[in-house]
């Protein structure tokens, strides 16, 4: 249904992808994409973000919500990237999870879209909600949902599944009022709602 689906975040480098993904927590990709042009014009790479004035960084990302914690995590992650990883975003799940503000969701996005490494299934709010509605998982914890989906899907499809489900969640299977009457998955879905 979504053959052209790809990561919705705008970025030019893996560091920028990492930062944009950290900013996307509790925030829409659309909002992040409004913030990042000015942010990356001022602080385009890990060294500049690591050395940034925290207050200036906070002001640039304020509209994404939780801006103090996000600024702290972005700066901490970039400081580690500079000091421990030679200025390059790590290419393994284990090393990415060492960075402040990085959990499996962010690490999966960075590995898949920054390096073409499919390590897991990215579980965001759309993937969680729709996987539950489709009966693919009964869990609420993103790690357990990811494990269920990894068992059900072939590894090459893990990231494309996530991206497609995210597009479907935005367009059809919305949180408050799913459009089951136009959903092409309705015949497979145990949670169909007749509005």
Q: Are residues 73 and 145 in the same domain?
A: no
pLDDT of residue 67: 98
Q: Which tens digit of pLDDT belongs to each residue from 46-103? A: 999 999 999 999 999 999 999 999 999 999 999 999 999 999 999 999 999 999 999 9
* Domain contains 3: no
d(CA 158, CA 87): 28
pLDDT of residue 4: 87
pLDDT of residue 183: 97
* Residues with Cβ within 8 Å of residue 80, at least 6 apart in sequence: 98, 99, 100
**Looking at 115, 148, 174, which one is the last position of a domain?**
115
Q: Are residues 94 and 159 in the same domain?
A: no
Is the pLDDT at 195 greater than 70, yes or no? no
Structure confidence at residue 193 as a pLDDT band (50, 70, 90): confident
* Residues with Cβ within 8 Å of residue 91, at least 6 apart in sequence: 111, 115, 117
Q: Are residues 169 and 91 in the same domain?
A: no
Active-site annotation holder among 105, 148, 174, 177: 105
Q: Are residues 46 and 92 in the same domain?
A: yes
CATH of the domain at 181: 1.10.1670.10
* Domain contains 37: yes
Q: Are residues 83 and 132 in the same domain?
A: no
pLDDT of residue 35: 98
Residue 29: count of CB within 10 angstroms of its CB: 18
Q: Are residues 52 and 93 in the same domain?
A: yes
pLDDT of residue 194: 66
Q: Are residues 24 and 96 in the same domain?
A: yes
Q: Are residues 32 and 77 in the same domain?
A: yes
Domain count, the chain: 2
Q: Are residues 65 and 150 in the same domain?
A: no
Containing structural domain, residue 89: 14-115
Enter the pTM of the model: 0.94
Phi, then psi, of 94 in degrees rounded to 5? -55, -45
pLDDT of residue 95: 98
The 3-state DSSP class for residue 89 equals coil
Q: Which tens digit of pLDDT belongs to each residue from 150-163? A: 999 999 999 999 99
Of the candidates 51, 48, 50, 103, the one whose C-alpha atom is nearest the C-alpha of residue 77 is 50
Q: Are residues 176 and 129 in the same domain?
A: yes
CA atoms in the 13 A half-sphere facing the CB of 167 = 15
Q: Which tens digit of pLDDT belongs to each residue from 127-153? A: 999 999 999 999 999 999 999 999 999
Helix 54-61 / helix 29-42 crossing angle, nearest 10 deg: 150
pLDDT mean across residues, the chain: 96
Active-site annotation holder among 29, 70, 124, 128: 124
Q: Are 61 and 23 spatial neighbours (Cβ–Cβ below 8 Å)?
A: yes
Q: Are residues 109 and 61 in the same domain?
A: yes
pLDDT of residue 110: 98
91 catalytic residue (yes or no): no
Query: What's the token pair of residue 43?
Result: 């602080």
């Amino acid at each position: 249904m979504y053959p052209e689906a790809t990561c919705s975040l705008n970025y030019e480098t893996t560091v920028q992808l990492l930062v944009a993904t950290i900013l996307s927590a509790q925030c829409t990709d659309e909002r992040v994409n409004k913030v990042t042009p000015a942010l990356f014009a001022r602080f385009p790479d890990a060294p500049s973000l690591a050395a940034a004035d925290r207050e200036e960084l906070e002001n640039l990302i304020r509209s994404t919500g939780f801006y103090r914690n996000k600024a702290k995590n972005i700066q901490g992650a970039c400081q580690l990237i500079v000091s421990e990883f030679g200025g390059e975003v790590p290419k393994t799940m284990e090393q990415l999870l060492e960075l402040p503000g990085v959990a499996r969701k962010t690490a999966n996005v960075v590995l898949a879209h920054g390096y073409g490494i499919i390590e897991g299934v990215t579980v965001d709010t759309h993937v969680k909600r729709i996987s539950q509605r489709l009966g693919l998982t009964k869990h609420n914890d993103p790690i357990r949902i990811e494990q269920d989906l990894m068992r059900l899907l072939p590894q090459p499809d893990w990231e494309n599944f996530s991206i497609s489900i995210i597009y479907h969640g935005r367009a059809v299977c919305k949180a408050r009022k799913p459009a089951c009457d136009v959903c092409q998955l309705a015949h497979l879905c145990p949670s169909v709602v007749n509005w």
